[in-house]
Amino acid sequence: MEKIPVYFMPGLAASTSIFERIELPQDQFEMFLLEWILPNPKESLTDYVIRLSESVKHKNPVLIGVSFGGVIVQEMAKVIPVKKTIIISSVKSNKEFPRRLKIAKSTKVYKLLPTGLVQNVEALSKFAYGDTVKQRLKLYDRYLCVRDKCYLDWAIETIILWDRTDPDANVVHIHGDADDVFPIKYIQDCTVVKGGTHIMILNKFKWLNENLPKIILNAS
């Protein structure tokens, strides 16, 4: 039996190591990890995705994207034929954005974000208060791989200005009911993971390992 190629796209600035606990049966699936590439100056999302899709070497693959990676794979599915598109901890259109992202778009406040700080998480951690914040900064330091300010500015602006208003009915959406970045109350038509947070790719990997094969194989 020919194995199904499954390509994974990490979240904003994240490294492919976020998928280190994800395992699919090797007799049925072949896993490939997509890496972020640096955007060209003022590059459109479509042009970026066309360049990124050159990394996909198989016909009709399954695309799985986390958070901003979920936006990327949905756009990628518009430029290459795919077997299935699955998003995790993401959104299917800008109508699922929380209020703060909509406010950020209308006020352009995102342009004021100190993205340069991400280049030095260690320095940022000195200003952290509370165990939760410190723990999150540890995760950032471990799993963030792209700290280029131009990339971060581009990525944040790109997601906030994402113009998709009508979800693709073929997209399979997996979402945690405790996601604090994209709260479940704004999300329509998804498979809900109880207790799943925005980083459930890391801490709900057992659920994903058990259910992803069935979700991939289930005919759309």
Q: What is the pLDDT of residue 107?
A: 84
The stretches in the chain having pLDDT less than 50 are 117-118, 120-129, 220
pTM: 0.88
Residues 119-166 have pLDDT tens digits of 544 444 444 445 555 566 566 567 777 778 888 889 889 999 999 999
* Bridge partners, 176 (sequence order): 193
pLDDT of 175 reads 98
Q: What is the pLDDT of residues 87-101, one digit of tens each?
A: 999 999 999 999 888
Measured CA to CA, the distance from residue 15 to residue 7 in angstroms comes to 14
For every residue of 149-192, DSSP letters joined together read: HHHHHHHHHHHHT----S--TT-EEEEETT-SSS-GGG--S-EE
| Residue 184, CA distances (Å) to 41, 95, 132 in order | 34, 13, 21
Question: In sequence order, what are the residues at sequence separation of 6 or more whose Cβ sits closer than 8 angstroms to the Cβ of residue 42?
Answer: none
In DSSP terms, 33 is beta-bridged to 8
Q: Where are the alpha helices (DSSP H) in 6-148?
A: 45-52, 68-76, 99-107, 121-125, 131-143
| pLDDT at residue 124, as a whole number | 41
Amino acid (1-letter code) at residue 9: M
